[in-house]
A and B are shown apart, each in its own frame.
Chain A
Amino acid sequence: MANKIVTEEARKQIGKAGEARTYDVERGAIRRFAEAVGDPNPLFNDEHEARKTRFGGMIAMPTFYRSMGSPIPDIKIEALGATFRGLDGGSDWEYFNPIRPGDRITVQTRLVDLRESEGRLGTMVFITMETSYTNQFGAVCATQRSTAIRY
């Protein structure tokens, strides 16, 4: 059966990237983020203690990346129109390298999957975006996949 909403034309947008954003990571921002979550781990809060570890200094906690946004690519799905409702389904993270104070992180979000299925709310559209976080040495620190559900 042909898709009702996610047409072949719509799927051609897979791979489309939003505008990249670059952030300078400050020590205070790393600490404030950990404080907001309520995580007292010395790795994320205490330079003196963190220096004694194999990291040799403070690093950011795994969800610090949420403070560095980037615009999602402009995706057109004709049947959804402008007034669709959405739900944030969650996140899938992969971590490759730590992020440290003074790092310069480039953030970019791409559409990596677009599909539909029939659910109790009618036809549900799953829009999967992947955001990559790359440091000033060209090393990917993390990727985040998020699936938004539109119905």
Chain B
Amino acid sequence: MAKQIYFEDVEVGSEIGPLEKNPTTQQLVKYAGASGDFYQIHYDKDFALANKLPGVILHGALKNGFLAQLMTDFAGAEGWVRKLSVQYRGMDQPGTKVVCRGKVVKKYHDNGHHLVDCEIWLENAKGEKTTPGSATVILPARHAH
């Protein structure tokens, strides 16, 4: 298990990640199989081109999965991802890296929980945020507050 982060360890502005991913067409096929999303724009190049796309594109939900990984890595086994939101703004293609990043925007207590709100996003190799989002994570605390 990775090292656990605690509520006291993070401040507003603390960076999350980066988590770099290098999706391939093979990964899109694996994801199609695991998720049951067999829309052909994700694995059939001719179909994608005929639909005016530049080629096959990543499943939005796969990018959602990458951002989920970013946040479950951050929360650790003692934390809990309470909310996760993503918006699909731009397409991403296999064969080029994408990077998931985030930063803490708020720290607070609610109902006995230690919570942090985070801004998160997935960016392409050019640094464009194709998939922005947000997350709320419950973190363990070293001391009662």
- A-side residues, CB < 8 A to B, are 29, 32-33, 35-39, 41-43, 49, 52-55, 61-63, 66-67, 69, 87-95
Contact = CB atoms under 8 A, between A and B. Distances in A.
Interface size band for B: 20 to 34
Contacts, number: 98
A63 B61 contact: yes
Contacts of A63: 61, 64-65, 68
A69 B27 CA distance: 21
Nearest to B29: A36
Residue with the highest number of chain B CB atoms closer than 10 Å, among A37, A39, A89, A94: A37
Interface in B12-53: 21, 27, 30-31, 33-37
Contact of B60 (A33, A52, A88): A88
9 contacts: A38-B27, A39-B72, A53-B1, A53-B78, A63-B68, A67-B35, A90-B86, A95-B80, A95-B81
A69 B35 CA distance: 9
B21 A91 contact: no
